[in-house]
Chains A and B, each alone.
Chain A
Amino acid sequence: MSFKTLQHSLIWTALVLSIGGLLFNTGALLSVHNDNELINQLASGKDVDVSKVISGKPELRLARALYLKQKHRYDEALSTLSLIMEQGDQAFRAKVRYNLGNLYLEQAMNHVETMKMNEALPLVDLAKQAYRQALALDSQDWDSKYNLEVAMRLLPEMDRINSGNEDDPKKQATQLWTTVPGFPRGLP
């Protein structure tokens, strides 16, 4: 095979590959568009075909978890979020944990409203844990900070043994602490 023939074949191969790339990228763009449509649909409170969510990107599951939470289907929302805890980049993982914290906190508040403290306490603890994880991933997330503070006020952490200086950091490392449920009602 001469150099010219080889060059000619290479040009044809390159053309076939670039047309392949063109088709692939068109498909990818179409898929992104369809996924964004699904996200929009879920965000506006309309359910979508679950099979599309299962086979889709983690953002779709996050959107469906939000939809399920809006419909008060908390258990389904929780299992949907738990599937994407370790997926995506750091910012996405922080968002998943923040929404997970909100899921727990909202349920806890519902229990507090009906004075079911025993049900509320573990949920607040889980919410705090989720917000802490979200902040460990993104310390600039103001919503996580705010809601963690809401959860902390709902269930303040206090030292069991108060030796005069309750926030002495050296002593706290080895001391036990406990939590006290309830809203600090504050000023009238």
Chain B
Amino acid sequence: MRVGLLILLLLAGCSGSVTEPVSYFAIETPRPFGYVIGDEIAQRIVIETRSGIALQTSSLPARGQINRWLNLTQINVKQQGEQTVINLRYQIFYAPLEVKMLSLPGFTLQFAQGDNTLSKDVPDWSFTVAPLRELAVRKNEQHEYMRPDVRPPFLSGSAAQMGLWGSFLVSVLLGVYLAYLYGYFPQSRRRVFKQALKQLAKLSEGDMAQALTIAHKAFNKLNSRPLFQHQLADFYRSHTEYQRINQLLDWFFDYSYHYFFSGKQAVMPEHLQKIRELLEQCRKIERGAL
């Protein structure tokens, strides 16, 4: 009894789809009716084979004109493991006078396994094609009715329009930012040295006290409180960019101290020039150019 059962199981294991060289073969086609001239028909062939069996692509129909009214426009073979999917796209150029049945021609697929070959037939596939025009000739004023020429398409300006808006936006943003840097906005802290330079431009070397006061006021405004020489280290910590001109600043505060408090400071034309230079450097820092 047990031996009989074992033999039965062995026989079952030896038969069935596992030993079939082509275990799955399906042809997927669309609706077989309602086609007109110029239509495309897609045909999909799905094949599953035993491992080691390869499709011979030379057995596929060649791309191009198959017959007077049929073109094969696309062949696409995808191999995924043991599954092969063949996508074919036909285009029909048949002008029937009435609904007519036509066939996509079949072909034989060849598979190779070592020296052996095996084949699988793809049968003809029938479908109907219908006319677009009535049988009776329809005429317009001159001759037979035909569809008119296509009007030339208008050029699209959307890319240029998008580019225009994009560059306009970027230009405005950059312009506004530069205006801010250059202190063109009222109440901007970036106007401090701009205004100081404007006031300084009107002064001569005889107005040294006024020139020093203008510069001090500018530094005080920037520092939000009076700035003295001994506070310069703190000032540099909160305004690090002014560290670059520390020598000029040290000179200015020294000069100012001696001018106002020692009374021994001689006034030379180059001193006013140096103050102007200091404020110009500060102006550059203010607008982010230094």
The reply on A164 being an interface residue by CB < 8 A is no
A102: which B residues are within 8 A, CB to CB?
146-149
Type the 1/0 row for A125-165, where 1 means its CB is closer than 8 Å to any CB of B: 00000011001100101111111111011101101000000
Number of contact residues on A: which range applies?
35 or more
Q: List 27 A-B contacts (CB under 8 A).
A: A8-B287, A11-B174, A11-B177, A15-B175, A18-B174, A22-B167, A22-B171, A24-B163, A25-B161, A28-B163, A33-B157, A39-B155, A57-B155, A60-B152, A110-B143, A113-B142, A136-B71, A136-B91, A143-B148, A144-B38, A145-B39, A167-B102, A169-B70, A169-B103, A172-B69, A173-B67, A186-B134
Supposing A29-B164, A59-B153 touch, asked if A149 and B171 sit within 8 A by C-beta, the answer is: no
CB distance from B20 to the nearest CB of A (A): 29
A15 near B171 (CB under 8 angstroms)? yes
Q: In the complex, A159 Cα to B244 Cα: how many Å?
A: 94
The reply on B233 being an interface residue by CB < 8 A is no
Which are the 5 A-B pairs with shortest beta-carbon distances? A152-B95, A21-B167, A172-B67, A28-B160, A186-B135
Supposing A43-B151, A145-B38 touch, asked if A22 and B164 sit within 8 A by C-beta, the answer is: yes
B150 near A18 (CB under 8 angstroms)? no
The reply on B5 being an interface residue by CB < 8 A is no
B157 near A32 (CB under 8 angstroms)? yes
Known: A102-B149, A154-B144. 8 other contacts (CB 8 A): A15-B178, A18-B174, A29-B157, A39-B155, A59-B154, A144-B38, A149-B132, A185-B136
A98: which B residues are within 8 A, CB to CB?
149-150
Listed in ascending order, the chain B residues whose CB lies under 8 Å from chain A are 36-40, 66-71, 73, 91, 93-95, 97, 100, 102-105, 124, 131-137, 142-157, 159-161, 163-164, 166-168, 170-171, 174-175, 177-178, 181, 241, 244, 285, 287-290
B147 near A147 (CB under 8 angstroms)? yes
Listed in ascending order, the chain A residues whose CB lies under 8 Å from chain B are 2, 4-5, 7-8, 11-12, 14-15, 18-19, 21-22, 24-26, 28-29, 32-33, 35-36, 39, 42-43, 57, 59-60, 62-63, 66, 69, 92, 95, 98-99, 102, 105-106, 109-110, 112-113, 131-132, 135-136, 139, 141-150, 152-154, 156-157, 159, 167, 169-170, 172-173, 177, 183-188
Nearest residue (CB) in B for A187 is: B136
